[in-house]
Amino acid sequence: MKYFLVLRGDVFRECGVAATRLMNKTILRNAKGIVFLSHHLKRRISSQTKELPATAVIPCPYLQKFAPPSYKRSSTILTVTGFFFLEKVRPLLVLAPLIAELIKSRPEVVWDICGGGPYLKRMRKAIRRYYIGERIRLHGHRSDIKSFYEEASIFLYFTGLDSFGLAVVEAQLNGLPVVANMAESMPELVDDGVDGFLIDTQKKGWQNRLLDSMTLLLDDVELSRRMGISGRKKALEKYNPATIGRSLWGFINSGGGAGCHDSHDVYPPR
């Protein structure tokens, strides 16, 4: 029996049991076609599995509607993530002292962090070291996440494990400029200098560029607004459910045949 797969994550990095990884390889090889959410994910899987079937790169559509932003925002930095994998938590642990430094110098700024998972306790313990009261706020999993997007002024997202990054798309739909690390799928989501800033943590002095970028967005309301508008326009076009649905159906309906490999104009090859 042949089937199509839509891969939402890296099945090898996220599955620690050898038998499960072997099963994943078998399932991948026997599929008629595979849809990856990003070019980054495709490269990851391709490097570990030979003889993949036909593939396409089609991102995840946005799953809920967001009202047009008012752009009347407070000086709130927002991060929405999951604390289920240590690879996602480590970059936040590195960020914490830098954002704490920024917050100490700017009494109007707060950092809201939303998301649940077993490593949330580790993050909470790390934040207690900086003694800045309630200005770094860990909220855990929240069902009212829309209200956090509406109140934020900047979306901050550093990660070490992300096949797509739907939270970044949601932030863009809410008109937020995004500051992210140049890792995983982030370069496919954020256009540096257009709808946010990408920070290359492999370059010397990246910490200063991060703080400079955050300060610029906090001080220059017009720049922040322009970047937010640009990100929202892009997200509405690229991640529209109808657009994604047509691309997905086109790939499946063709049987994963020639001409479908990365032929969907949602992401250009990188």
Question: What's the whole-model pTM score?
Answer: 0.89
Tens-digit pLDDT string for the chain (270 aa): 578 888 888 877 776 656 566 667 788 888 889 999 999 999 988 888 877 888 999 999 987 777 777 766 679 999 999 999 999 999 999 999 999 999 999 999 999 999 999 999 999 998 888 767 789 999 999 999 999 999 999 999 999 999 999 999 999 999 999 999 999 999 999 999 999 999 999 999 999 999 999 999 999 999 999 999 999 999 999 999 998 999 999 998 887 654 344 434 443 333
Same domain, 130 and 176: yes
Residue 135: DSSP 8-state: S
Separation in Å, CA 213 to CA 26, 109, 194, 241: 45, 14, 13, 32
Same domain, 86 and 207: yes
Instruction: State the Cα angle at 39 between 196 and 242, rounded to 5°.
Output: 80
Which residues on neighbouring strands pair with residue 110, listed in sequence order? 76
pLDDT of residue 94: 94
Domain coverage including residue 187: 76-237
Nearest to 60 by CA among 178, 191, 235: 235
Same domain, 94 and 181: yes
Same domain, 147 and 245: no
- CB 104: neighbour CB atoms within 10 A? 13
Q: Which residues contact 176 (CB under 8 A, 6 or more apart)?
A: 69, 78, 149, 152, 153, 154, 155, 228, 231
One DSSP character per residue, 40-82 reads HHHHHHHTT-SS--EEEE-PPPP-S--PPP-----SEEEEE--
Q: Is 86 strand, coil or helix?
A: helix
Number of domains in the chain: 2
Q: With respect to residue 260, please indicate whether it lies within any of the assigned structural domains.
A: no
Q: With respect to residue 267, please indicate whether it lies within any of the assigned structural domains.
A: no
Same domain, 154 and 222: yes
pLDDT of residue 48: 81
pLDDT of residue 267: 38
Residue type, 250: G
120/132 Cα distance (integer angstroms): 19
pLDDT of residue 214: 97
pLDDT of residue 18: 62
- Give the domain CATH number at 83: 3.40.50.2000
